[in-house]
Amino acid sequence: MKLQTIQCISKSERGNQKIAMIIATTLIVAFLGFLVLSFLFSSGSPLNALLFPEKHKKMEKQKQAIILYDSKQWDKARTKLEKLVEENPDDTLYIYMLGTTYARLGYPEKAIGKLKRVIELDPKHHEAFGSMASIYYKYGEDAAENGSYEKARDYYKMAEGKIAQALNLAPDKLAYQEIQKQIIEEQERLP
């Protein structure tokens, strides 16, 4: 009688072990399936490129523009960014990047136009205010070097106003504090 009870428990345990193995195997297969699907449908995957070619092409353009911008290849970045801004006229990131690229390439008026557009779309975009302050500061320096002190004062005042707006939005940004200090020092040096 005791022998039969032990065999019954043993069969029951084996049944529980089989159920546990089936559940574990199912979970592992489900997890692996999730990983495979995540890879296949990730933004850079070949399958995603096949299933959604337009989206993939757009993401590649964005990636190329950002890489060129970050590597300071301004001419190439400008070309890519102009296309992105044309396709995404309200995207503040691309407009801002294009504006600062114009500034780097020596087109300050174009830069200011783009930065103003960024501020229209996002009045709290402190980077746009800071970049405009830098451009006006540079204008002020150029005017002072050429002996146009009144023009220099005007540009420094514009720079001071823009950096004040940037500091209002990001008061702890040390770069803005430094720019503000430089603007004030340059104004004091003017005759």
Q: The tokens of 176 are what?
A: 């803005």
C-beta contacts of 82-90 below 8 A and 24+ residues apart = 85/114, 87/58, 90/121
Q: Quick: pLDDT tens for 85-106.
A: 999 999 999 999 999 999 999 9
The span from the CA of 138 to the CA of 135, in Å, is 5
Q: Quick: pLDDT tens for 26-67.
A: 777 777 766 665 665 555 555 555 455 565 466 777 888 888
DSSP per residue over 8-43, as a string?
A: HHHHHHHHHHHHHHHHHHHHHHHHHHHHHHHHHTST
CATH 3.90.105.10 holds for 52-189? no
Q: List the domain boundaries for the chain.
A: 1-40, 52-189
In this structure, the number of other CB atoms found within 10 A of the CB of residue 88 comes to 14
Q: Provide the whole-model pTM.
A: 0.70
